[in-house]
Structure 1
C-alpha cells in the first residue's frame, strides 16, 4: 500500500495556520485542514503506556511506535492516496523528538504573528458576539475585562501561552532544522513567494495555487466554541492594516514576545520581516 509523507502545521493561534491549510489543500496531492484530534490521541496513548500505569510493562517502545504510527494511518486512511498529509496541531512544537523518530523526513511548518496582534484578533472575535460566553475562558472573572482575558490566554497551559511555549521549545531545540517559521504578515503580503519557499522546504514539485479563490470553513466546530467564523477563510488573500483594539500597554507588552525575529540562536528556517536573506533561504 502506498505510504503518504507526513508533515505538520503548528505555531500560534490566529497566525494563519487555517489559511495555510486552505492554500495547500488546493493541491490535489496534499491533504490539509484545521487542527485534528491526532495530537490528543497520541498524548492519550503515551499516557496509558507510560511508567506508573498497569500497561507500561506490557508495551515496549517498538510497540508504542507502531501504535502511534497506526493512529496517523488510521485517522487518515481515506487520504493515504495523497502524496503528502499535513496534520495541524499547536502541540507538535513540543513533540518534535517524537515526530522525527516516527517520520525522520517530516517537516513542521509553524505559523507565527506578532503576539499583540494574536491577542487583538482573539479579542475581536470575543467582542463580536457579546451574548456568548465562549469556551476560551472558564469563568466569568476570567473573561471579565480585556486584561483578564489576555493574561489568561498567555498562561503556559492556555491557548496562546501553550502554543508560544511549544514553538519556542522547537525553535531552540535539537531538531530545529526541521522547522520552518512563516510570519502571517508575509504570508498575506506575498503568498506566492512564501508558498514557493515552503515547497522547496518540503521538497515537493511546485503547484500553481489560486490565491484569489480559497475555500475553508468549519461552522459546526466554531459554534461549539462559541466563536462563529473562527476558522472561516476569506476567498481572497489580502493584507489589511488596522488599528488595534487593545489598550496601548497591553499591545506593547505582547509585542515583545516575537523571539523568532532573531534567528541567531537557532537552526530553524525563518520567513519573517526582520530576518536576512540568508536566514530566509530554505
Structure 2
C-alpha cells in the first residue's frame, strides 16, 4: 500500500524530533500540504522516497538506519535526469557515501549560523529619504520584484511567485510587522523577512536588497531592525541560512555576531551526467 501524505509527514516529524533537524525543507513541506499531486512518493512505514520536480528526498526513521534502506529507496526512485538534486540536512557521512556510490556529486553547501538574541549591535541611522516600516497589503508586487532581482542566481529563492508568497503569508507564523521593508517613495529598496519558529527561536528568513540600491548600507539596516524585532518578541536565539560560498554575506553575518558549527552544514548532491552506479 502506498504511503499517504499524512504518513510521510508523521515520519518527517518523528525524524526531526530525534535528529534535531528537519529532513524536508519548507518548500517541500508546502508542496506536500498544498499540492500533494505534484509529489511522487514511495516506501513504507520505515522510510520514504519523495520526488518533486527535479528534487529528490530520502528519509529513513532512526531505528531502521544502517541496514541499507536508504540505498534501496534510492534504487527504487523513478527515473531521474542528470541534474536532479538531493539535500542532506546535515553533513551526514552515510549520505555522502551513498551519493558518491550512486553517481551523485556534492555541489552546494548551505550553512546555518546562530547567535543569541541579546546584546545586539545598534542599527545604523536610516538614510535621508528612506522610510522603514512593516509589510502592508499592496506591497506584494514590489516585494516580488526585489526578491527576483536580489536572488536572480539563487536556485530556489529567486523563483518565488505570487502564489508562493501567498502560501507563506498564509502560514500561522507570518507576522506583517516582522517583514521589515525600506522604501524610497514608491520603490522598495530592501527587506528583511523574519520568522518566529517558537517562543524561544527566531530566524532571519530572507534578506533582500535591490541590486540598484546596494552600497547604501540598507542590508545591514534592515537586518538589524529585523533582529531587534525578533528580540522584542521574546526569542532567546536567532538562526539563519546562508550559501557557504557567499563570502560577503557570511562576513556581514559574522560582523553581526553570528557563528557556525561544523555540524550546521546542509549539503546538496546533484546527479552527474554520466551515472557511474
TM above 0.5, one fold?
no
Greater share of residues in helix = 1
- TM-score band w.r.t. shorter chain: under 0.3
TM-score of the pair, normalised by structure 1: 0.27
TM-score of the pair, normalised by structure 2: 0.27
